[in-house]
Chain A
Amino acid sequence: MYNAEKVIPFIIILIIFFTIPMWLNFGRLEAIPQPELPKEEKKCVESKEYMRAYHMKLLDNWRKKAIRENQHLYTASNGKNYTISLQRTCMKCHTNKEKFCDKCHNFVITHPDCWDCHIAPEVAKKWQ
């Protein structure tokens, strides 16, 4: 092999680059956070599977309906009606943003802009 003094470090750098996640996790891996589910209520607006994957679409849709179309009633797929409101409907059961929303959002790194306008209940309490 020619230029081994350059080629071997190159191979090592390449391997390190493609296994970066392993090195980043090394010694600082944290347990997967569990979001705190409401104890009283068992059923959400839509099915569990739908909410897990599509809740942001639903909320975005709610926002459009409430703010742009002045509709404040959402009819779920099972026929039940809900008031379109993040703070009065969602947060009624999921009372704590930090223990529910943030758990997953911080885990998978998303940057939802809900709280640019809305105020989380625990923050509201602080100011009251």
Chain B
Amino acid sequence: MNALVSFIIFGILVAIPWFGVRVLGWESLFGIVIPYVCFLVFVIGLIYRIIDWAKSPVPYKIPTTCGQQKSLSWIKRSLRDRLENPFTTWEVVLRMFFEVVFFRSLFRNLRADLQGKRLIYGSAKWLWLGAILFHWSFFIILLRHIRLFTNPVPEIIQGLDYLDSFIQSFGVPPIYITDILILAGLTFLLLRRLIDSKVSYLSYGSDFFPLFLLLGIGITGVLMRYYFKVDLYAVKQLTLGLATFHPTIPEGAKIGTIFYIHLFLVSTLAAYFPFSKLVHMVGVFFSVTRNMPNNNRAVRYVNPWEYPVKHYTYYEYQERFKDKMIEAGIPIDEEVQPEEEHEWYSLYIVGSKLPPKIKS
């Protein structure tokens, strides 16, 4: 059901540019206005999300660890321990690097299955493989697209493009390796949600929709390169125009509708990105169980929620109960000094700069 609704929404998103360009002929809306607006939404949305996260206090130091923590000098720590239980900032950086680049924690993914009445846990690397295929291919494809937005194209991007397309055996234009890998990865990630009943049960529409969107982008891109060819010279005039802020719809050359569908889906992805699960691209850096060093015993971590609490000083106590103390024969300390005045604070309320005062 969730999958179906997402797919219908995706279908509508494909139909919009098809109708808009093919029937109404609004090339400049779908080629210039929407991409610019969506890119702006993307950037501003990301900044908004980052600042929103950065404003959230982290009350405790909560890194997840599974290695020997830094302890006495004669307790040895291997490189693995340093990654699993970082103590210094450098170790945290290294840990984050491996997390972001190789999805180290996903590599530990387990799968639980009932075998008769026995619950069995086993290693499950397929999710990791699908994820890494998709993410790396997507990243390389993103970099490769720089060839459409720069003139002259930097040598390194040319080299990347050449390496990616070095298999020339399947006709012209040569097939991109990342094109195959990204479709394989995405198909796996989608089938996993559709076929595995446990994962399917956990999947929302917002899990399926990005997959449909990304698959849609991949498939329109592949179709555009290999089957429904478009005039790439005109396409680059358009895209270069976007990048240099002189946007034009090239005259005299008709770009196929499939290009506008591809562009519209990419624009949708960009605008949708900051407000969906996809923003884990940024969120991973704010993942507090990963980005904190486990140095609680060496460096004091101050909870940002902490506020000055009024203590009942001994002076105040003594003033209040003086009579009763004398009555009971408890000695009075004459030298105790009144301490600095504090204010009474109570519970911290999210969003307020200072905790509210409570009148006594």
A residues near B (Cβ < 8 Å) are 1-4, 7, 10-11, 14-15, 18, 20-22, 24-25, 28-30, 32, 49, 52-54, 56-57, 59-60, 104, 107-113
Contact = CB atoms under 8 A, between A and B. Distances in A.
A113 B168 contact: yes
Contacts of B50: 7, 10-11, 14
Contacts of B308: none
A15 B50 CA distance: 12
B154 A1 contact: no
Contacts, number: 98
Contact of B55 (A2, A15, A32, A110): A2
Contacts of B285: 10
Interface residues of B, number: 48
Contacts of A14: 46, 50, 282
A111 B234 CA distance: 18
Contact of A2 (B229, B243, B304): B304
B243 A111 contact: no
Given A7-B50, A22-B243, A110 B254 contact: no
Given A3-B54, A53-B232, 17 more contacts: A2-B57, A11-B50, A11-B51, A20-B146, A24-B146, A25-B149, A28-B152, A29-B151, A29-B244, A30-B152, A32-B236, A53-B230, A53-B231, A107-B151, A110-B232, A111-B162, A113-B168
A15 B43 contact: yes
Nearest to B250: A32
B105 interface: no
A54 to B, nearest CB: 5
Interface string B217-242: 00000000000011111111100100
